[in-house]
Structure 1
């Protein structure tokens, strides 16, 4: 019964990822609307059009103005919207947050601005083409790891934005407290990502080999990282832990570099021996990173992402709370993306079918 409850808890957290309003009231209760978002830095309502030489994150406020908190790593807000009329409309709403805004019309402008320091991108999908711009952000190596908040029409637009690569979504129009709550987490996330960049760089060689051999699998891992991080944020994890979950999701399948293609992509049922080879990839992956000090926080994700709360997983058959919650989130995201993606040996399931399967397994 305890294991069933643990499974229900994880599934409940997954469903929170689709909630559009829950965190606004929790995060902003009792906070004055004119108080700036923690982590967003001093705010002067400044708005700039990106020109390609934008290197500032400073405010025009004096250093002695105690109403505002100091900037966190000079994180800046970039609004991505090619249409000037719509960008003016969005800027007027975001200016109520009293944080400097830079407007970018193209992904190229976002990439140039991001080169000068950590940013959060507010990507507009109000006039169509929003999903395509989000995909372009994720496909460009210069912008692939940026924290992105999608501003989307209510309903299907929010789902499309998440599938296209947004870290979070706000429906349009949205009240200021909701905008503030969503941006607060992403500003802290942008700082955490900047601080973790060197950690990922320390393992870049192996990731490049992984991507060269299995480009579709690195895309799967990136989606797993984003989905698991989103669930972790809604579950109340700190931004540092959310970033650890995201990187753990990216790295979780690294051990598959050692699995022969003939087994990994076999369409027919695997033999017992072949299945044993496939099941060795968590241990292989862990052996690849365990001697790299910077990779120590990600070992549990690599080694434990196939453990299951009922004890049926591998390599060690852990049960229930023996599997850390962050690892459970990556395992859940891995299962969801695997079932909704094309595989040589299995037909694609739609989102509804996949959630039904996950809910049944959690009972």
Structure 2
């Protein structure tokens, strides 16, 4: 099979005045599910039946829900499982093991998710906002600004779609299980905190209340919204925190990640350290390697010093990311030699470091590129 593809101001909340997405089962608490059943004139166990289809069987087609009464089946499923995501384009790379989907939401907003199958795991990268208000100049999504926050169910539905694709053998390698979720698609997850935490709780809850995923296999990323990072440490959900740092000094990070003018490198890294200390979970430092911008050897030394200031018990891991280049952008991928030296410098100072495996470079891998093109 061919590897070719087949077919600013900071805004911390979504614009007001937009219509809300349709109410969906994944949005509802236990009490709200009972109330929804009453509204439909159905016993409460009907909602549990639908939940079992959705979360355990990964089924959204009412025709397959044969344990529901035939005369009410469409009405029950339609009320609890309205269509939230409509596929616009699906592109494949890496012999079909990388699938990028462009979705249209109910109001026409576009978001993206990427399903990646590896020999030992399957990971889906999900979006949490339509657009992004963080305005990072090297990011395709950031260039388009923020349209709105996504609902809990809109986030969860991306995961259900990926889990169903794996379970039904739609990804080369035969039927399998979705194991990992990363919030590294479009948007700043911490700027849509309530919906993101709601989605995480649905993912980790056992069926029929959720997908039964391990919290340790869920990664929530942030550019550094310090109050929300601290709040995440109190939730009792041991997800992996990924901090998109991209520079170890305030002068450069102010330009690359504008939220840094509000929360400095020192404040942001300290909040990450506090998360690691509270949860005993190692934090991932995401660092996009940009040629002659942030990839100098002295910056590797400085990054190591900044991280080592908080202890040497292995609380942190640096994940160097070969930049997904955006057409027309001044930001380009670092030379391999500079990246290798960056790794050497960090490791010499005791910092665990890897280079991220890049996938989907031929299908507009950088989140936001496909939506912008559409």
TM-score by length of 2: 0.31
Q: Give me the TM-score of the superposition, normalised by structure 1.
A: 0.31
* Higher normalized helix content (fraction of residues): 1
Bigger proportion of residues as strand? 2
